[in-house]
Amino acid sequence: MKPWTDYLVNARHIDSIYHNDKPSLNNVDIHEIIFHRDGPKISIRMNLNEFPASPPPKWIAQKFNTVQIILTLVDIEDVSMSGWVDTNYIANITIEQVNDKICMNVSNANLKLVITSSFLDIESVAAYMRK
């Protein structure tokens, strides 16, 4: 299975921070899922479970220890979701290509989210200090 970053429209944002060490989408902390009618698109904001080995100097100076990204899926073809009933979502995300479409699966004990779209990209990459 290819790394999830291979499915991004533009991987330079994540590659410039993680270089050759692709971060995992296992045990990510999901903060929000936003459904936009324009596109249509879905944005998922999450904390990655891995901090880069060589973070940008300003991240070191500010003592950041957590990377937060927003993944955006555009031109949504299908979506199904159940189990958005908790206040804490540590989940695993898998991404693959099926028939020229991006298929994302987000799951934990309760949450099940499956999205099929034409495009996947990173809307933002930021860092902060989590205590």
Reported pTM: 0.95
pLDDT value at residue 131: 84
At 52, is the secondary structure helix, strand, or coil?
coil
Cα angle, residue 9 at apex, residues 7 and 10 outer, rounded to 5°: 110
Task: Extract the tokens encoding 56.
Answer: 């940008």
pLDDT value at residue 86: 87
Q: pLDDT for 33-92, tens place per residue?
A: 999 999 999 999 999 999 999 999 999 999 999 999 999 999 999 999 999 998 899 999
CA dihedral over 25, 84, 90, 30, signed as positive or negative: positive
The C-alpha atoms of residue 125 and residue 106 are separated, in whole angstroms, by: 19
The DSSP string of 76-127 is: EEEEEEE----S-EEEEEEEEEETTEEEEEEESSS-EEEEEEEEEEEEEEEE
